[in-house]
């Protein structure tokens, strides 16, 4: 089934996930967001292609308001790449897969 490699984060498990040894790409999204739905399948593809190398995670901003606030997220979708708990790169909007692959390369 698609999406098996995508981790769904909450405010509670966010810190533990991004502070892990594996780089983590977090997709901040909401169910009502059209562009978020548009890039959803691409996020799942990346999760499958980078399984074991990168943790790909999604965080619903409506259900978890604390974490997006900490990172100043004002627009979704926003993707933030973390390595060792630190922000490596960030992009907002429905970007192409090529841009996300280049972004992941910065942490690998």
Whether residue 56 contacts residue 25, with contact meaning beta carbons closer than 8 Å, is answered with yes
**Residue 92 catalytic?**
no
Catalytic residue among 26, 36, 46, 79: 36
| Alpha helix ranges (H) inside the chain | 14-18, 34-49, 66-70, 97-105
Establish whether 33 is a catalytic residue.
yes
- Select which of 26, 33, 39, 47 is catalytic: 33
6-9 and 24-29 as β-strands: parallel, antiparallel, unpaired?
unpaired
Instruction: Indicate which residues carry an active-site annotation.
Output: 33, 36
């Amino acid at each position: 089934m698609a999406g098996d490699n995508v981790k769904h984060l909450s405010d509670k498990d966010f810190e533990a996930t991004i502070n892990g040894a594996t780089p983590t790409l977090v997709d901040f999204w909401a169910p009502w967001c059209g562009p978020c739905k548009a890039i959803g399948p691409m996020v799942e593809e990346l999760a499958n292609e980078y399984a074991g190398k990168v943790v790909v995670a999604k965080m619903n901003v409506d259900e978890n308001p604390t974490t997006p606030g900490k990172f100043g997220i004002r627009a979704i979708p926003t993707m933030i790449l973390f390595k060792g708990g630190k922000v490596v790169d960030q992009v907002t909007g429905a970007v192409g897969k090529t841009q996300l692959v280049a972004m992941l390369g910065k942490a690998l």
